[in-house]
Chains A and B, each alone.
Chain A
Amino acid sequence: MAGLMAGFGNFTHAVVRAVPTSLAKEALRTNKLDVDLLKAQREHELYVEVLKHKLGLEVIELPADESMPDCVFVEDAAVVCGDTALITRPGAESRRKETEAMKKVLSDLNLNIVEMTDESATLDGGDVLFTGREFFVGLSKRTNQRGAEILADVFLQDYAVSTVPVTDGLHLKSFCSMAGPGLIAIGSSEHAQKALKIMQQMSDHRYDKLTVPDDIAANCIYMNLPSKGHVLLHCTPEEFPESVKVFEKLKDHMLIPVSNMEKAKVDGALTCCSVLINKKTDV
């Protein structure tokens, strides 16, 4: 077994959920944009395809639930770190039920399940940035202090948990994500940069930063897979040509552009659509 905090980005499983038709009309969104449902579904299929076939992850696909228009964004329903999964209490009331299916599938994977039962707490997984060394929790419209505290109770034992105010944008990860070990991808907007500064101030660790012109493009998925090395799923040149140029400078990474145009209209970023798990067989 590897030591504490080793193997950042190493995943074996992914949990995803299909796009319900209700997404187009009913999914929560901060902008009033029309979503092309078919396109969104096609996008999502490609996304799952990449995880499954290109990267060889074991992908568990939950069926869509029409009564939960946002259910494709599974990330918000659970925070998994090591063998522990915290089932969240999403900030949007309409999304609370999404956690049920998630809880079931994660317990089937034999993870230690911790549920957020406190009724005053809210937490969306999209506000949780795990850097490999510590957690940052965005305090946003969807996540409150109490939610962050509970996350700290669950994970603080090994990791520091710091809070970051999210002044603009939906989630903390609406403008940042990990793009490598110790490398934070961050958007260029003022609030993104401000949040980064706070994170740097709060941290005992040094992070490099990868600044991309577009906030949403800063949401990418980093993995470190035994067979593939550094892998980065990021936005496509069609969506954010300038940001892609930045990613293309990461020479050591296997870069996989994944389109997310339609889901982005309902504030879904790349990380939102999967929960990644490292289920080591040898432990």
Chain B
Amino acid sequence: MVLCQVTMLDGSQFTCEAEKRAKGQYLFFKVCEQLNLLEKDYFGLCFKDNADQKCWLDPLKEIKRQIRNGPWNFSFNVKFYPPDPSQLTEDITRYLLCLQLRQDIASGRLPCSFVTHALLGSYTLQAELGDHDPDEHRTDYTSDFQFAPNQTREMEEKVVELHKSHRGMTPAQADSQFLENAKKLSMFGVDLHHAKDSEGVDIMLGVCANGLLIYKDRLRINRFAWPKILKISYKRSNFYIKIRPGETEQFESTVGFKLPNHRAAKKLWKVCVEHHTFFRLMTPEQPTKAKFLTLGSKFRYSGRTQAQTRQASSLIDRPAPYFQRTSSKRISRSLDGAPVISVTSDGSGPLGEKENGRDPALELSSDSKDEDEMPGDGAAAATTAATLDSAEEDAEESEAILRKSLEEELTSLFMSKASFSLGLVSSCTTTAGAAEGTLVAVPVGQRSAEKSPPRMETFLPESKDVAKSADNKQKSEAVAVATTATQPVVEIEETVIVEEVRKTPKPATSAIPEVHAAPTTEPQAAAVAAKEASASSDSESEEEAEYHPQITSVSVEQIKEEPEEEEQEEAELNKQQHQPEPSPLPQPIAETDPEPEPAPAPSQPVIEDGTPDTKEDAQPPMEVVEDDGIVEEEMMVTPEEAPNGYSAAEGQGLGSLEEEDQEPRVNGDALHVDTDHLPQVICCSEPPVVKTEMVTISDTFAAQKTEIATKEVPIVHTETKTITYEAAQLDGSGDGEPGVLMTAQTITSESLCTTTTTHITKTLKGGLSETRIEKRIVITGDSDIDHDQALAQAIKEAKEQHPDMSVTRVVVHKETELAEDED
């Protein structure tokens, strides 16, 4: 047993024993028990690492491994500052938040003006001392309190003056008032990190509930709301965010920042991942047991999200707990003036505490239709309910989960790469135009029909046509805004954008997605195993990692949040599609019809119901219908794909697919069109070992192909990683028709890199012939080469050369030698 010292928010010390191998959560729960705290998800334990940096104790990891040789000293702190403290359920939670904020203010971490210091200080006095008592509270009664980093006599006088005015306010009310004012401070809940921008200029990065803020000196020079961010990653001491393109830009951009060291970069990355998950998602991404494709850090936020914790706290059913306020040691009175009893938590918390606090199975997410805690709940609740309604979803969801890890990676590459083939462009145009800004629910029918992971083409933002349609949006928007003059509410309830479609995870499935489905040849299979082994070992020593806040395919639901401008516009676009009559611009009330969607006709989505009222616009659940015209492919559902226990739903899904095939205008709202040109992705990280990686990804057709990639299995003493993704089979039987080889031809050419092209034409069942082209590209160069870029370029070229074909498989074989990097 080891003795743990925890500094509480009121400055007191809590001591308890823990097993040497105890995990972080053991101690955290002990502390919460001691505090009698149920809404514990906003809090965490900190320790100082050997560089004297404050770190959050990971609840799922052994304490010992985190603090290493340091002392077992911790501090209990607020980790996630709730943007609206009034939504906390219990006074005790608010009280603890107040204590944290008082610390933040007194230390200068949370700057405020003289007047604000005085005001907040006066609420502190009221909460701690009660009404001002001229007899008891003579001159120096304020000196026990620190209201500001530089407290002056003048300030104390002001505090007293204001304290007098709070007469009659209960401690809980004073705390609430304190929080109502503190939450408005511009730096409330902002976790600052020192960094340099690309030009070496000192800046600060602030992570908060809504996103990432960039400060230069004290000036906010940029802000990236979570919906704007496609990917968060770090590599060595660099931290990167990939930004969704604005309406005027064609491509997303990556912004890089230089952190003082690798540790700082990783820490910032973690904070971002955690904040994003906590505030933006309904449920955390499932921890990945057998995370097949992820290299680099597998860190994910493991606790509950704000939505979950709110849901849980709404179930709190105990009399308001009594607690002592610090300085006065007065016993708190609850707002309703309940009798004063001091209850010290003796570890056996009130009934329900444990369940409430720990039940990991609390599925708030999908099925709760009444998520009243969501801001601007109307639309969100409606969408949630609507999208989750169908039981069919479940099948899809779990299927999605199976693939999740893979898809993340898939998504990452394709989100990050510049434009692809023309064929792809046209198809994504349709989708983007129609589906962006509308809530897209994917009926399982289509979903299950997809033979491969949920699409990401839908939001390839780089397609030119999309940009064009964005222009349309802009144009029409400028005019449309005037309509709001009477009722100057222009904000549109946020509609969930395409990327955020995926639903709640079911309890984690740890299955490895479909590896076996691919007739990989043996060496590869072996390599797979190797990869898995190494993946599990590289846990925390990774030097880079990425996180995709917007992953299409992640089965995580995102919370509706403040509408971001672009989304508004998208919604407006939708709205305007139904306004037949363009009006001239100077007319204040004018809604112009944007130019016709650039989408190609066959798969043109039909939006039948566009209410001009923007508010309502967002509400009706938009359903997505895939109608990519490639029926053959749509029908490709493989038994292997259906996760156990969901085959019934799967069947159901098929049925509905057929229906929808005949009648693609489902429910009238936005249609989302998917294509089957599923590109593949490769994400390789470079653990600090000399090794070779092979990543193989392919989709439908790949299963039927001969595996050339296996030739590339690297030489002995390098480490081999092969990642294979094999999508569904071509037909229900699951066995690809091997086909008859007709021709095979190999061309080798040299351009930027060495390219070997092999054409293989085979005859498939039914007399169809299929040509397959395999290109082998060798890129050599030093470590400065942007491999992703090179790969993207290669894929792009391939796409351009053969616009009528789709890339079905990408194998990356990477040999790198890396110097050890400090962690």
Interfacial residues, chain A to chain B (CB-CB below 8 A): 1, 3-5, 82-84, 112, 133-134, 137, 145, 148-149, 152-153, 155-163, 179-180, 183, 188, 193, 197, 200-204, 206, 208-213, 242, 245-246, 249-251
Contact = CB atoms under 8 A, between A and B. Distances in A.
A1 B223 contact: no
22 contacts: A1-B119, A1-B162, A3-B181, A149-B216, A152-B218, A157-B113, A158-B112, A158-B116, A159-B186, A161-B186, A163-B220, A200-B565, A201-B564, A206-B491, A208-B490, A209-B484, A211-B484, A212-B482, A213-B482, A213-B585, A245-B588, A246-B482
Interface string B207-227: 010100000111111110100
Nearest to B225: A201
A137 B217 CA distance: 14
Given A149-B219, A202-B220, A157 B588 contact: no
Contacts of B491: 206, 208
Contacts of B208: 204
B229 to A, nearest CB: 12
Contacts of B115: 4, 82-83, 158
A4 B490 contact: no
A213 B218 contact: no
A5 B478 CA distance: 31
B488 A160 contact: no
Contact of A209 (B112, B165, B481): B481
B181 A4 contact: yes
Contacts of B487: 249
B486 interface: yes
Contacts of B490: 208-209
B481 A211 contact: yes
Interface of B: 111-116, 119, 162, 165, 177, 180-181, 184-186, 208, 210, 216-223, 225, 228, 246, 474, 477-478, 481-482, 484-491, 562-565, 585-588
A115 to B, nearest CB: 17
Contact of B113 (A134, A137, A158, A179): A158
Contact of B488 (A4, A84, A206, A250): A250
Given A3-B119, A183-B488, A202-B220, A158 B562 contact: no
A213 B588 contact: yes
A211 B113 CA distance: 34
Contacts of A158: 112-113, 115-116, 184-186
A257 B298 CA distance: 62
A160 B220 contact: yes
Given A1-B165, A206-B563, A153 B218 contact: yes
- B115, B208, B219, B222 pick with most chain A CB within 10 angstroms: B219
A12 B115 CA distance: 19
Contact of B220 (A82, A145, A162, A209): A162
B154 to A, nearest CB: 12
A77 B230 CA distance: 43
Contacts, number: 132
Nearest to A160: B186
Given A202-B222, A206-B562, 12 more contacts: A152-B217, A152-B219, A157-B111, A160-B220, A163-B220, A200-B565, A201-B225, A213-B482, A213-B585, A213-B588, A242-B588, A250-B485
A161 B185 contact: no
A215 B217 CA distance: 32
Contacts of A197: 246, 565
Contacts of B221: 162-163
A137 B562 CA distance: 23
Contacts of A160: 186, 220
Nearest to A189: B478
A282 to B, nearest CB: 10
A25 B383 CA distance: 62
B275 to A, nearest CB: 13
Contacts of B565: 197, 200-201
Nearest to B118: A1
Nearest to A214: B586
- B186, B217, B225, B585 pick with most chain A CB within 10 angstroms: B186
- B165, B218, B223, B586 pick with most chain A CB within 10 angstroms: B218
Contact of A213 (B217, B484, B586): B586
B588 A161 contact: no
A162 B186 CA distance: 11
Contacts of B181: 3-4
A159 to B, nearest CB: 5
Contacts of B111: 156-157
B488 A180 contact: yes
Contacts of B246: 197
Contacts of B482: 188, 211-213, 246
A197 B246 CA distance: 10
Nearest 5 pairs between A and B by C-beta? A160-B186, A249-B485, A152-B218, A211-B481, A162-B220
B328 to A, nearest CB: 24
A58 B157 CA distance: 29
A203 B221 CA distance: 11
A98 to B, nearest CB: 25
Contact of A161 (B119, B220, B478, B562): B220
Contacts of A149: 216-219
Given A3-B180, A208-B488, A246 B588 contact: yes
- B114, B481, B564, B586 pick with most chain A CB within 10 angstroms: B481
B478 A188 contact: yes
Contacts of A153: 217-218
Contacts of B562: 204, 206
- A1, A159, A211 pick with most chain B CB within 10 angstroms: A211
- A133, A204, A212 pick with most chain B CB within 10 angstroms: A204
B409 to A, nearest CB: 29
Contacts of A82: 113, 115
B183 to A, nearest CB: 9
B116 A211 contact: no
A229 B564 CA distance: 30
A137 B478 CA distance: 23
Given A208-B490, A249-B485, A162 B219 contact: yes
Given A1-B162, A201-B565, A211 B478 contact: yes
B182 to A, nearest CB: 8
B219 A134 contact: no
A83 B158 CA distance: 14
Given A3-B119, A156-B186, A210-B484, A201 B223 contact: yes
Contacts of A152: 217-220
Nearest to B183: A4
Nearest to B111: A157
Given A153-B218, A201-B223, A4 B185 contact: yes
Contacts of B586: 213, 242
Contact of B223 (A83, A202, A210): A202
B20 to A, nearest CB: 44
Contacts of A134: 186
Contacts of A206: 491, 562-563
A202 B224 CA distance: 8
A245 B180 CA distance: 38
Contacts of B485: 210-211, 245-246, 249-250
Given A3-B177, A134-B186, A148 B113 contact: no
Contacts of B223: 162, 201-204
A188 B184 CA distance: 31
Nearest to A202: B223
Contacts of A148: 219
Given A158-B185, A197-B565, A213-B588, A163 B481 contact: no
Nearest to B248: A194
B405 to A, nearest CB: 32
A111 B487 CA distance: 37
Given A149-B218, A156-B111, A161-B218, A210 B488 contact: yes
A251 B486 CA distance: 7
Nearest to A197: B565
Given A159-B186, A209-B481, A211-B481, A84 B220 contact: no
